[in-house]
Structure 1
Amino acid sequence: MPIQILPAQLANQIAAGEVVERPASVIKELVENSLDAGADRIEVEVDKGGHKRILIRDNGSGIGKQELTLALSRHATSKIHCLDDLEQIISLGFRGEALASISSVSRLTLTSKPQAQPEAWQAIAEGRDMRVRLIPAAHPDGTSVEVLDLFFNTPARRKFLRTEKTEFQHIDEVIRRIALSRFDTAFSLKHNGKLLRQYPKAASQAARQKRVALVCGQGFAQQALTISSELQGLSLHGWLSLEPASQPDQQYFYVNGRMMRDKLIHHAIRQAFEGWLPQEAHPAFVLYLTLDAREVDVNVHPAKHEVRFHQARLVHDFIFRALQDALEQPAPEQTPATLSSTRSVQVAEPRHDYIRPLQSKTVTGTSRDLNGSRQPVASRAVKSYQQLVTSSSAPRTQEQWLLIRGRYLLLSAEDNCYLVPLYRLERNRLANLLDHEPVSQPLLMPVAIPCDETLAAAFSRHQEALPALALDIQMHARRLLVKQVPAGLRQHDWSTLLPPLLSAPAQHLKERLLELLANAQKNYTAEQAATLWQWHSDHEDPEITLKQWGRRIPLEDWLHD
């Protein structure tokens, strides 16, 4: 068969196979066009699950008469003009294929009126011959696109459409996802003439939360955590649920306002939730990632479901750490009426008899059965409980200990109390780790740190000493790449730790690393404190540990106070 140029109709139908999978795909493309046109009110009407009719009406800027025919041509767009535009795309659509592809497999009517144009004009196109007819029409400012008989001229594609109910469920989900991406726009959805969804504009935070409740349900909105984090030009905000879900049907992620289902993003989220949810459960979230448009390539998928980040490792670790920090934050106080169940939390008992453990006051928090996984809110409740309590049945000579303000451990030994800073215990543990030929552990992906001349000079001075600290760091394209760190310390934010580490004098490099790592942990949970104390009890004489690291408070003075 000789090589030949494909006819325009066939080329458009091939393109339609990439971007027009079902009625929901048509609606996504057309609604995104409306948003790019500046519309703040978009109405969607469908009949028979979109099989028979789709109508999108907006109040955007509209299309002039002289451009209506061109708008239905392939690769016609007003959103990019040169290669530089392609490298920093801020619009939702830019390929110029949607209208041409849709008109090649349906009967399409495009009606539009810009505000400056005295009358509206209508462009009518049918897929069989692709000819466009222009006629005057009555229409308010804005644009309407009506799509009739989808896939009427491609029977092979039409037979793959599902039932009316199934196709409408996909349409409903598309509108839900778009409604969460643009709170400044009102949306409505009608099916077979019946209004089923209506999302008013949401200008205030309370209104936004109300829209989230409309989309995700009241249960999600009432117990979701609010997250907000920024780092090196990246911003992540939104809502996060601790409630395990059996299906991944409440996972909404947006990159610069664009709906996204990206493998790298999904991996970062799953990694952050590791240990918080059982293996078969799914997290629920509504998250918005914002970054410089030049740092992300959205032109990697015809339907724009995936993106490619120029600093993939930085984005991955930023999402992971931001979510992990949010999950580990102390839970807000809740009244007993709002708790689904409760669980008592107690500090682990030390091994040595002369150090008396605290029989802690029962602390309650939300505690859901996660099939053996850790109970996040319940375990954090002890950290938020900052009052010393004593057991009414214990004699006064056997006072107890408790975690105070997440930073200190109060213990009793013989006739004295000792206040032990946990960061000093952590520093001692880390020193022991680095003194005995530390094992280097590779990161999942290297951490990239922008490198100026000062940081580059500091790295050159310490480059030979870093392997002794189990650090594998390389310089590449004006960035430092952290590839391996001491085993057990991967959870730390090395992009924050490395610059101050390299600024230290060569003879104090190890001490500076210990200081940074010990102070990186701002608050300890009861479980972490107990584990840390247990480690010292196993490796050193507890009495020596108390006298070396703790501040002695005579028991009589403490009881008197």
Structure 2
Amino acid sequence: MPIRILPPQLANQIAAGEVVERPASVVKELVENSLDAGADHIEIEIEKGGSKLIRVRDNGSGIAEQELVLALSRHATSKITDLNDLEAICSLGFRGEALASISSVSRLTLTSKTAGQSAAWQASAEGRDMQVEVRPAAHPDGTSIEVLDLFFNTPARRKFLRTDKTEFGHIDELVKRLALSRYDVSWLLSHNGQQVRRLKAALTQDQRQKRVAALCGRVFADHAAFIENQYGDVKIWGWLVHPQACSAQLHCQYSYVNGRMMRDKLLNHAIRQAYGDTLAPDQQPAFVLYLELEPRQVDVNVHPAKHEVRFHQARLIHDFVVSALTDALTQLTPASRAVSQPGLTVQEPPAQPYRHVVSGNSRSTYTADRRPSDTAVKQELSYWQSSQSLAATTQVTSSMPANTQSPLLITKNRYLLQQSGDDIVVIDLLPTLGAYFAAQRQPSQTLLLPQRITLNAQQCRLLTDRAEQFNRLGFDMLLTDQLLIVRAVPLWLRNTVVSQWLGEWLQQLCIQPVEDLCRHLLAMLLNANRVSAGVMLESAPQLLSAPEWWVSAPLQLEATLNTLTEPKS
């Protein structure tokens, strides 16, 4: 069979097989175009579950007369112009396939007027070659799209439609999801001439809460806590239902990425993991959550129907969501009275059970009697943290300051051998770095994921008694009962996995107290190769150019020097 170009209608119908699954898919594409056009009022009229009529009317920017034909053409869009736009998509639509695909399986009429036009114009696609006819019409500023007799020319697709009630149920669920994505838009949904939903724009927090209650139900609103957590340009906010109020039904599980409706496996897994073992096997989490991040960090060009996204830093986003939601769920456990000390916030348990208002409604309270499992958030941080690339013996490279004497190498992850003329200077990094960090207080580095460590009573007393010293080192920690939450560490510890050494360090301090915490920690980490000496030196760039900090190496290094200088056979 020879290779031929597909006729336009056939090509559009093939695309329609991916874009138009059922009437709800048509509503989704049309409404997303309205939102992209800047509409703040959208009316949706449905007849016979959408198989007979779908009409979407908005007050957006409209489509100019000379662009109406292009609007119904395949791969024509105003959303993107080049590859750079594709890499940072901020609009809901961008493929330019929806209207052409819908018009190939229905009788579509598009009427629109821009603010700069004196009259509206109407376009409709007819004929085998999808030719578009344009005529004058009467219409206010904005756009109306009417889809008649969906799948009238594709009987095989039409017979797979369910009953009118079922199809409209999918449309109603879709409108709920859309209304939860844009609180600034007013919505009107009707079916067979009967008004089903009428939602006014929700511009304040109280109005948003009321919309959530109207769409998700009073039970959800009464047991949902509003949460918000941000790190850098990644932010998550929304409503989360307390574990004790979760049921076995898949009820109100709505997630959004940059305002786009999602059924993303990564997000769903992170949410479930945040709940951890606080949910019984037959319980389902309930949530309305919004994830916001830089558009270039997420790829929405994954599926024609745009149901899926791909995160460039998938592990980082997953762990951020787990940590943020676990923090929120932890705050729903028995409250504590905070005792402020430098570097350490200690929270004392209350004398009576905790009652927390989670919905903003003073009539709704619950008593929390268990704490979410900490294991849900102990994720390995190595994905986004710099790996400890320097081994026990590592070549010192261009990371050293340009004005220093020529460095040679680091051996035993502790001794720096540096050439100075004809001599080799041997520097013991343990006392050198200890003295430097003690005199030059290092800034703190906030952890992307706060680390949670369970302590014993002796370790808790140690932290409380020496809180000021931990503060001087650059630690920011919260102690609640026997749970320690580490929120920031000294800058020179930014490349370490805190959960792997902090508990051990505190236990050593309990067994054998020392005065110099910094040097004790340095010795433990350097000797165990848990931190690279080369990376440590990057945190002290002035050190090598200031010999007054140098501490000579002990005599036992002589054997090492002999090994380095002996010729190899």
Q: TM-score, normalised by structure 2?
A: 0.64
Counterpart AA for 2:326: Q
SS at match of 2:279: coil
User: Which residue does 2:287 correspond to in 1?
Assistant: 285
Q: Distance in 2 between matches of 1:325 and 1:378?
A: 17
User: Which residue does 1:18 correspond to in 2?
Assistant: 18
User: Which residue does 1:83 correspond to in 2?
Assistant: 83
Counterpart AA for 1:69: V
In the TM superposition, residue 2 of structure 1 has moved relative to its aligned partner by 2.2
In the TM superposition, residue 449 of structure 1 has moved relative to its aligned partner by 3.8
User: Which residue does 1:246 correspond to in 2?
Assistant: 248
Q: Distance in 1 between matches of 2:411 and 2:54?
A: 63
Equivalent residues, number:
402
In the TM superposition, residue 177 of structure 1 has moved relative to its aligned partner by 0.3
Q: CA, structure 1 residues 280+496, in 2 after alignment: closer, same or farther (shift >3 Å)? A: closer
Matching of residues 171-320 of structure 1 within 5 Å: 171-242=171-242, 243-320=245-322
Matching of residues 392-407 of structure 1 within 5 Å: none
Matching of residues 50-449 of structure 1 within 5 Å: 50-126=50-126, 128-242=128-242, 243-330=245-332, 363=353, 365=355, 377-379=368-370, 446-449=382-385
Assess if the C-alpha contact under 8 Å between 1:42 and 1:58 holds in 2: yes
Q: CA, structure 1 residues 524+4, in 2 after alignment: closer, same or farther (shift >3 Å)? A: same
Q: Distance in 2 between matches of 1:286 and 1:52?
A: 32
Assess if the C-alpha contact under 8 Å between 1:61 and 1:115 holds in 2: yes
In the TM superposition, residue 67 of structure 1 has moved relative to its aligned partner by 0.6
Q: CA, structure 1 residues 462+44, in 2 after alignment: closer, same or farther (shift >3 Å)? A: farther
In the TM superposition, residue 151 of structure 1 has moved relative to its aligned partner by 0.3
Counterpart AA for 1:21: E
SS at match of 2:121: strand
User: Which residue does 2:429 correspond to in 1?
Assistant: none
User: Which residue does 2:359 correspond to in 1?
Assistant: none
Q: Distance in 2 between matches of 1:462 and 1:256?
A: 47
Q: CA, structure 1 residues 86+462, in 2 after alignment: closer, same or farther (shift >3 Å)? A: farther
Assess if the C-alpha contact under 8 Å between 1:54 and 1:147 holds in 2: yes
Assess if the C-alpha contact under 8 Å between 2:271 and 2:325 holds in 1: yes
Q: CA, structure 1 residues 223+525, in 2 after alignment: closer, same or farther (shift >3 Å)? A: farther
User: Which residue does 2:36 correspond to in 1?
Assistant: 36
Q: CA, structure 1 residues 127+244, in 2 after alignment: closer, same or farther (shift >3 Å)? A: farther
Which runs of no fewer than 5 residues in structure 1 stay unpaired? 334-359, 367-374, 382-441, 467-491, 498-510, 530-535, 549-561
User: Which residue does 2:342 correspond to in 1?
Assistant: none
Counterpart AA for 2:196: L
Q: CA, structure 1 residues 59+362, in 2 after alignment: closer, same or farther (shift >3 Å)? A: closer
Assess if the C-alpha contact under 8 Å between 1:29 and 1:98 holds in 2: yes
In the TM superposition, residue 129 of structure 1 has moved relative to its aligned partner by 4.2
Counterpart AA for 1:254: Y
Assess if the C-alpha contact under 8 Å between 1:107 and 1:127 holds in 2: no
Counterpart AA for 1:12: N
In the TM superposition, residue 80 of structure 1 has moved relative to its aligned partner by 0.4
Q: Deviations over 1:338-388 (max 9, x none)?
A: xxxxxxxxxxxxxxxxxxxxxx9663658xxxxxxxx9922369xxxxxxx
Q: Deviations over 1:11-48 (max 9, x none)?
A: 10010010100000000000000000000000000000
User: Which residue does 2:529 correspond to in 1?
Assistant: none
Counterpart AA for 1:378: D
Query: Deviation above 3 Å: which 4+ runs of structure 1?
Result: 126-129, 330-333, 442-446, 460-466, 492-497, 514-521, 525-529
Assess if the C-alpha contact under 8 Å between 1:226 and 1:238 holds in 2: yes
Q: Distance in 1 between matches of 2:175 and 2:147?
A: 17
SS at match of 1:302: coil
User: Which residue does 2:45 correspond to in 1?
Assistant: 45
Assess if the C-alpha contact under 8 Å between 1:19 and 1:98 holds in 2: yes
User: Which residue does 1:524 correspond to in 2?
Assistant: 480
In the TM superposition, residue 245 of structure 1 has moved relative to its aligned partner by 2.6
Q: Deviations over 1:393-419 (max 9, x none)?
A: xxxxxxxxxxxxxxxxxxxxxxxxxxx
Q: CA, structure 1 residues 306+222, in 2 after alignment: closer, same or farther (shift >3 Å)? A: same
Q: Distance in 2 between matches of 1:282 and 1:18?
A: 30
Counterpart AA for 2:120: A
Q: Distance in 1 between matches of 2:18 and 2:410?
A: 52
Counterpart AA for 2:259: G
Which runs of no fewer than 5 residues in structure 2 stay unpaired? 336-349, 357-365, 373-377, 388-397, 401-406, 415-445, 452-465, 486-502, 515-569
Counterpart AA for 1:317: D
In the TM superposition, residue 225 of structure 1 has moved relative to its aligned partner by 1.0
In the TM superposition, residue 127 of structure 1 has moved relative to its aligned partner by 6.7
Assess if the C-alpha contact under 8 Å between 1:365 and 1:378 holds in 2: no
Assess if the C-alpha contact under 8 Å between 2:355 and 2:367 holds in 1: no
SS at match of 2:277: coil
Assess if the C-alpha contact under 8 Å between 2:8 and 2:129 holds in 1: no
Q: Distance in 1 between matches of 2:412 and 2:141?
A: 68
- Over the residues paired in the alignment, what is the CA RMSD in angstroms? 3.8
Q: Distance in 2 between matches of 1:464 and 1:162?
A: 72
User: Which residue does 1:393 correspond to in 2?
Assistant: none
SS at match of 1:10: helix
Assess if the C-alpha contact under 8 Å between 1:44 and 1:54 holds in 2: yes
In the TM superposition, residue 496 of structure 1 has moved relative to its aligned partner by 6.3
Q: Distance in 1 between matches of 2:259 and 2:228?
A: 16
Q: CA, structure 1 residues 232+129, in 2 after alignment: closer, same or farther (shift >3 Å)? A: same
In the TM superposition, residue 198 of structure 1 has moved relative to its aligned partner by 0.9
Percentage identity across paired residues of the two chains: 58
Q: Deviations over 1:123-146 (max 9, x none)?
A: 012474412111111111100000
Counterpart AA for 1:377: A
Q: Distance in 1 between matches of 2:230 and 2:159?
A: 48
Q: Distance in 1 between matches of 2:262 and 2:411?
A: 40
Q: CA, structure 1 residues 518+266, in 2 after alignment: closer, same or farther (shift >3 Å)? A: farther
Assess if the C-alpha contact under 8 Å between 2:334 and 2:369 holds in 1: no
Q: Distance in 2 between matches of 1:72 and 1:169?
A: 28
SS at match of 2:285: strand
SS at match of 2:34: helix
Q: CA, structure 1 residues 258+279, in 2 after alignment: closer, same or farther (shift >3 Å)? A: same
In the TM superposition, residue 105 of structure 1 has moved relative to its aligned partner by 0.2
Counterpart AA for 2:294: D
Q: Deviations over 1:258-283 (max 9, x none)?
A: 00111111111111011121122111
Q: CA, structure 1 residues 160+520, in 2 after alignment: closer, same or farther (shift >3 Å)? A: farther
SS at match of 2:286: strand
